[in-house]
Structure 1
Amino acid sequence: MRESKIAVEKNDSKKVEPGTFLMEYEGAKILGSLGLPIAKSALATTKDEAVKKAEEIGYPLVLKGMSRDIIHKTEAGIVKLNIRNEKELLEKFEEIIANASSYKRDAVMAGVLIQEMAPKGIELIFGIKKDPTFGHQLVIGYGGTLVEIMKDFSMRMMPVSLNDIEEMIKELKAFPILEGYRGQSGINKSMLYSICLSLNDLVEARPEIEELDLNPVIFANNEAIICDVRISIGEHLGVESSPRDLSNLKYMINPQSIAVVGASTNEKKNGGRLFRYIVENGYNGKLYPINPGADNIKGFKAYPSLTEVPEEVELACIIVGANHVPKVMEECVQKGVKAAIIYSSGFSEIGEEGRKLQNQIIEIAKRGNIRVLGPNSIGIASPGKNIYTAFGAALESKVKVPGNIGFISQSGAMGSALLSRAWDQGAGFSRWVSVANEADLSTSDFIELLATDEETKVISIFMEGIKDVRSFQKAAKKAIENQKPLLVFKTGRSSIGQKAVQSHTGSIAGDDAVYSVALKKYGALRIEQLDEMIDVSRAFNVQKLPNGRRIGVLTASGGACSVIADLCSEKGLEVPELTEASDKIQEYIPPFGSAVNPIDVTAEVIAKPEMFKKVLEILVQDQNLDGIIVMLTTNADPGAVVIAQAIVDVFRQHDKPIVVGRLGADSIAPQAMALYQKENFPVYSSPERVVSVMNYLVKYSELLKKQQ
């Protein structure tokens, strides 16, 4: 038999560097050692060897050229399907060698993989992606050549449990096909579970795996066959997380004494505004302005340096030029300061020189056991304590509402804007924190703090990223243990600027999708829209949690009934039929109303607002409903006040959430809106917002049950 003119060389000895893909036969060998159902195959380096291996495996066959230098085999023309006999085998073998050379002339070939031809069946993809923050993620999806177009996949952090796997396959749009559809048999799910659990073992044994594609995995005849393997090798870098001593954090949020280094008599300067906000908002601790050029500021004796303050200083607010900060930090160590907020910019956010300066001040802080917020922070506000160590423009607001929402922002400007907007809507805050550069204290540290803070009932976060995943996991666990909802709005959804990926898994499972999976795993609710942050935070501050997703809907408009029902369906909320409740409701509403769920009490409610309370009580008492949505339209005072009081009264007396929307202008019902405001009861201005809030309440209730 004449050999190919193009030599086939072995390159098994070629070192696999990080970022390199294993050849398929290498990956298949690893998977086979774990008992995974790999298609029968063998590597041939000559045509004689190929014929022998083919006879052992049996026709029909698939031939695949193996080269570490060629990632996309199909594109290179080195995959040949349905080889039926020896003649075709020899022709295609030589064709593969020629195509490889044509595609990449210097490609080194390890040989040609001779593989059994799998039967037709349901094609799935199993993938692994190693996220630099959260570690290995498992992907299950509808596979084949259209995987990146269909993007029908589900993802979980590894290791996965049987419950995780069951949830994942139910999330697929293709789930009915897997179950069996229109007389077609479904897949052997026990094989699917076995593959996933074996992949747990794989990443534990081989943590250096960066990406993995098993696509397609064909399920047919009650079996599963892995037809293609692609594994990328990276570096194994262990996740390091040092224990965090947060004991001094109490001096930052509840200081008994504050020194403002850089306080100014000029209130146009940040140091002047910061000092004014502390004074004007009623701070009742000891306050020391530090300014060598002033005798006193706003009636407080000024000191030329921190070390000349005669009494103890718990918190230093440092608002001087970046190059002066190291000297001030040395004075903090000398003075025995417990905590410091650094507002100054010019550190890691500007590049390498700033990063060096930032590292210098943190090293100084460590020597003095000083906890540091910032640099580049806007500060902290604690409305309930009248402590405003912040200089954001939001503090110009004449209305600063205390409350039970803790808010942490990695963006000072966005956080300040949301604070002012929330106050404008009547939302009350326990703490507002701008973490900025997180050189020392991080978002996770403040989550952990707020999880046990008696002033805080719900924790909301504007997040750009997570520095230390283990600290975040620990903090999130503490929040859920204390039943404090953790709400996260995460920026950076787009794929712009992300590194190129070479696997199907890497393509469909982007970095943002990993964050969604991780937040869910750790018990946090991801908020999808920025304007929902305030809505949902206010709801969790007031509302009870539903036991399920069965929702009763009460409106005064047939149109509103349809809109709310459609929105509930989109969110996966059930609007079940009523049984006995419908007969009772029919007694109170006009015959042209609707006593079935959704309930339409009609515009008659304007003339007889007292009937509204009776209908609402019947709905709340129905054991087949877990929560109530009330969607009002254009009711005006004085009838609107009667309805508002009815809602508040019924809400107080029962243990189900009642989420209220109102389309009419506030100006036609000022008394009703004032009543809602007095009772700290949020009212939302659109059907979309009402249903979205109820959906988040349901999600958190389900999340709590899962964590128990």
Structure 2
Amino acid sequence: MSAVDGLLHPRAVAVVGASERSAMAGRLTRYLRDFDGPVYPVNPNHQQVHGLPCYPSLLELPGPVDLVLVMVPAARVLAVVEEAGRAGASCAVVLSSGFAEVGADGRALQEQLVEVARRYGLRVIGPNCQGLLYRPTGLAATFTAAADGEQAPDSGIAYVGQSGALGGSFLGMAGDRGIGLTAWISVGNQADITATDAAELLVADPNVRVLACYLEELPDGARWQRLTAHAAALGKPVVVLRSGRSAAGERAVASHTGALVRAGTAFDLLTSESGAIQVDDLDELLDTAVALTAEPRPRGRRIGVITSSGGAGGLAADQAEPAGLVLPELDPATRDVLAPLIPAFGSAVNPVDVTAQVIDDAGQFGAVCDAVAASDEVDAVLVVLTTIGGEAALEVAESILRAAKRSTKPFAVAWLYSHEQIAEAGSVLRRNGISVLGTTTAALRLIAHLVPREHRRAERAVPRGLARFLDRSELTEAEGAQLLDALQVDRPRGRVVEPADAARAAREFGDEVVLKVQSPDLAHKSDVGGVLVGVPSERAGSAARDMLDTVAANAPDARIDGVLVQEVVPRGVELLVGVQGSEHGYPPVLTVGMGGTTAELNPDVVSALGPVDAERAVALLRELRGWPLLDGFRGHPRCDVDAAAAAIASISQAAAELGDELGELEINPLVVHQTGAVAADLVVRKEAP
């Protein structure tokens, strides 16, 4: 990233397309008045722009330039970028639109832009972006109206985003709350410098304490992993808002796992594992980034709730568990301190209902806050307030602030009232590092984001040469049997035969058998009539012929390798265990859930990055709603969870070893008995080259 040092610390800035006639172009030069180096407007049609001499071209500037801002029509951008390269600039910010965002012609133009820039070693932000801000050098290289007016005090928060409009909203919202961003970068189409590139630059900056990111495209997994690891090592929190999280995956997958695991799961898991925080909207992105600049942070998930309304406290109690927080019972010593401070019609349990009577006495209310915060049972304090506004609200805010300053635990406030009535009180709290939210849900989510998390992934096992099993793009179940054997995952006995030999083979496996058509083209064999269960052995031949006729009618183009005659697996608890192979630099994604043919109707699944060990596999199983079925539900015998966990761990290790060669591997079902776990069906797909 040394090539973009000129991005944040340029010796001089040139504005190509500078003008006072256009509001956007005019802002570019006007905002640069505080920059601590020369600013050169460039426009052959003007002699002067905002009191600065204007030059006809970049090649006629009176001194060197590092950063060139380009705001000309798309058709002229290539010529300007080439001129910037010839002038010795190190970075160009192409604010112009009309590139990849408008279709094929625009994409071609964007590719040409990158080619020209690379010819001169020039790095490019954009096109179709809104520029950047960097407080330490007074650089305001943007046209967003959100940069207008006096800037609030520097917060240590940096922002990187793909959407210029949302970036402007974030900047404006921060300004409204009195928060000055240290840096703000809009990367637009990411033709050259990506959001990850910009984030790496800002994480390494000593002036940045917290990084907020808005992403529309998934970044490269290896780069994202390095970025978040570097940020964690530096103690700089990363907060991420990603759009498109509900979109269908780009690749079509044939297994249940593919239907159950949404696009971007690997990114979400990797982000969480790194300690970075994902949020769901722009408000939450800003609230969380600001809260992370304050100290202290909660050590655990136990919160003490203080409220002026029993109803509001009840809402907070109901919403705490879904947010991953707990409301512990306060210790007797704390309740003894609270008892004389709260009227008899209030409550000294958690939530602590102080009633309006105590709210009217700032000193008494502060003493309640002190007592709850001092409890060893509490890691953070949430104050939930209702219809308190004006001067009374300001007094309450000041009492909360005094208590927070005396405490070693963080405070947050959910204030459920008119914004106008609490504006001054909220401003007092926010300016002093106490978050004020408009709902209890938002406040609880914020506190949950601040709690440190620990994730552990297992080390990769010794390689077992598994690549030899991926000799074709799709493996039939019979072909995958050797892979299961190598993974030490139990499977039913079986043999692939022609229909004429099915009865003879069936007699080897008992009175009844399972028949399965074997085809690399049929992942869901039962959907086309390709699975028969409990077939009497003496009827296996005729049943196999009938089954193949049905399959031929339902899937006439499917290649048929024969019929798998398989022993019947005794009933047990059915699990789905699937892994999607490494892709775009991300680790493989392991998915575990309650299985069977109806797995997609009522999904009960959890996912984790692979590989996992047996201990982590058990933890994943415990997260399932169906866990009691494994653990001896209503007097039923407990299943062999250890065997299931060993199989899950082995499959995840296989995915880690196979890396991007594996598309997906799924066992559905893995039938778990009192003793042992058996892979009753298998799908293996190699990643397309």
Q: TM-score scaled by structure 2?
A: 0.63
Residue by residue over 1:539-566, the C-alpha shift from the partner in whole angstroms, topping out at 9 and shown as x without a partner, is 2122422111111111111112111111
Q: Is the 8 A contact 1:384 1:429 kept in 2?
A: no
Residue by residue over 1:304-349, the C-alpha shift from the partner in whole angstroms, topping out at 9 and shown as x without a partner, is 1001102111211111122222222222222211211111122222
Match of 1:274 in 2: 28
Gaps of 5+ in 2: 459-689
1:391 is displaced (CA, Å) by: 1.0
Residue by residue over 1:264-286, the C-alpha shift from the partner in whole angstroms, topping out at 9 and shown as x without a partner, is 13133x3233222323xx22321
Please give the residue correspondences for 1:297-312 in structure 2 after superposition, counting only pairs within 5 Å. Answer: 297-312=49-64
One-letter amino acid of the structure 2 residue matched with residue 374 of structure 1? G
* SS of aligned partner of 2:182: strand
Match of 1:558 in 2: 310
Q: Is the 8 A contact 2:248 2:262 kept in 1?
A: no
Please give the residue correspondences for 1:377-416 in structure 2 after superposition, counting only pairs within 5 Å. Answer: 377-383=129-135, 385-396=137-148, 402-416=154-168
Would the alpha carbon gap of residues 563 and 502 (structure 1) be closer, same or farther in structure 2, given more than 3 Å must change? same
Residue by residue over 1:439-492, the C-alpha shift from the partner in whole angstroms, topping out at 9 and shown as x without a partner, is 111111122122122332211111111342222211111111122221111111
Q: Is the 8 A contact 1:349 1:355 kept in 2?
A: yes
Gaps of 5+ in 1: 1-245
Q: 2:75 aligns with which of 319, 323, 342?
A: 323
One-letter amino acid of the structure 2 residue matched with residue 265 of structure 1? E
Would the alpha carbon gap of residues 532 and 326 (structure 1) be closer, same or farther in structure 2, given more than 3 Å must change? same
One-letter amino acid of the structure 2 residue matched with residue 583 of structure 1? D
Q: C-alpha separation between the residues in 2 aligned to 1:248 and 1:678?
A: 37
1:670 is displaced (CA, Å) by: 5.2
1:430 is displaced (CA, Å) by: 1.3
Match of 1:422 in 2: 174
Q: Is the 8 A contact 1:401 1:423 kept in 2?
A: no
Would the alpha carbon gap of residues 670 and 549 (structure 1) be closer, same or farther in structure 2, given more than 3 Å must change? closer
1:385 is displaced (CA, Å) by: 4.5
Match of 2:453 in 1: 702
Q: Name which of structure 1's ranges 326-335 and 493-502 shifts more when overlaid on structure 2.
A: 493-502
Q: Is the 8 A contact 2:303 2:327 kept in 1?
A: yes
Please give the residue correspondences for 1:156-305 in structure 2 after superposition, counting only pairs within 5 Å. Answer: 246-268=1-23, 270-279=24-33, 282-305=34-57
Q: C-alpha separation between the residues in 2 aligned to 1:409 and 1:511?
A: 20
Match of 2:92 in 1: 340
Q: 1:646 aligns with which of 399, 402, 407?
A: 399
Match of 1:586 in 2: 339
Q: Is the 8 A contact 2:14 2:69 kept in 1?
A: yes
1:576 is displaced (CA, Å) by: 0.5
* SS of aligned partner of 1:413: helix
Q: C-alpha separation between the residues in 1 aligned to 2:363 and 2:152?
A: 35
* SS of aligned partner of 1:289: strand
Q: Is the 8 A contact 1:564 1:687 kept in 2?
A: yes
One-letter amino acid of the structure 2 residue matched with residue 274 of structure 1? L
1:674 is displaced (CA, Å) by: 4.1
1:406 is displaced (CA, Å) by: 1.1
Q: Percent identical across equivalent pairs? A: 35
Q: C-alpha separation between the residues in 1 aligned to 2:423 and 2:212?
A: 29
* SS of aligned partner of 2:121: coil
Please give the residue correspondences for 1:86-105 in structure 2 after superposition, counting only pairs within 5 Å. Answer: none
Q: Name which of structure 1's ranges 621-630 and 649-658 shifts more when overlaid on structure 2.
A: 649-658
Q: Is the 8 A contact 2:212 2:239 kept in 1?
A: yes
Would the alpha carbon gap of residues 428 and 661 (structure 1) be closer, same or farther in structure 2, given more than 3 Å must change? farther
1:703 is displaced (CA, Å) by: 4.2
Would the alpha carbon gap of residues 461 and 413 (structure 1) be closer, same or farther in structure 2, given more than 3 Å must change? same
Q: C-alpha separation between the residues in 1 aligned to 2:248 and 2:218?
A: 19
Would the alpha carbon gap of residues 374 and 667 (structure 1) be closer, same or farther in structure 2, given more than 3 Å must change? closer
Q: Is the 8 A contact 2:412 2:434 kept in 1?
A: no
Q: C-alpha separation between the residues in 2 aligned to 1:677 and 1:574?
A: 25
* SS of aligned partner of 1:531: helix
Please give the residue correspondences for 1:419-568 in structure 2 after superposition, counting only pairs within 5 Å. Answer: 419-496=171-248, 498-568=250-320
Residue by residue over 1:683-703, the C-alpha shift from the partner in whole angstroms, topping out at 9 and shown as x without a partner, is 1111111111111112xx114
1:706 is displaced (CA, Å) by: 9.6
Would the alpha carbon gap of residues 486 and 671 (structure 1) be closer, same or farther in structure 2, given more than 3 Å must change? closer
Q: C-alpha separation between the residues in 2 aligned to 1:260 and 1:671?
A: 40
Q: Is the 8 A contact 1:342 1:373 kept in 2?
A: yes
Please give the residue correspondences for 1:28-39 in structure 2 after superposition, counting only pairs within 5 Å. Answer: none
Would the alpha carbon gap of residues 674 and 531 (structure 1) be closer, same or farther in structure 2, given more than 3 Å must change? closer
Q: Is the 8 A contact 1:628 1:657 kept in 2?
A: yes
1:620 is displaced (CA, Å) by: 1.6
* SS of aligned partner of 1:331: helix
Q: Is the 8 A contact 2:275 2:453 kept in 1?
A: no
Match of 1:46 in 2: none
* SS of aligned partner of 2:133: strand
Residue by residue over 1:640-685, the C-alpha shift from the partner in whole angstroms, topping out at 9 and shown as x without a partner, is 3332222222323333211111113243355433422443533111
Instruction: Count residues in correspondence.
Output: 457
1:400 is displaced (CA, Å) by: 5.4
1:634 is displaced (CA, Å) by: 2.1
Q: Is the 8 A contact 2:249 2:262 kept in 1?
A: no
Q: Is the 8 A contact 2:36 2:137 kept in 1?
A: no
Q: Is the 8 A contact 2:397 2:425 kept in 1?
A: yes
Q: C-alpha separation between the residues in 2 aligned to 1:560 and 1:645?
A: 21
Please give the residue correspondences for 1:549-698 in structure 2 after superposition, counting only pairs within 5 Å. Answer: 549-579=301-331, 580-669=333-422, 671-698=424-451
* SS of aligned partner of 1:563: helix
Q: C-alpha separation between the residues in 1 aligned to 2:206 and 2:338?
A: 42
Q: C-alpha separation between the residues in 1 aligned to 2:208 and 2:334?
A: 38
1:415 is displaced (CA, Å) by: 1.8
Q: Is the 8 A contact 2:359 2:365 kept in 1?
A: no
* SS of aligned partner of 2:205: coil
Would the alpha carbon gap of residues 677 and 384 (structure 1) be closer, same or farther in structure 2, given more than 3 Å must change? farther
Q: C-alpha separation between the residues in 2 aligned to 1:452 and 1:324?
A: 35
Q: Name the Cα RMSD after superposition.
A: 2.3
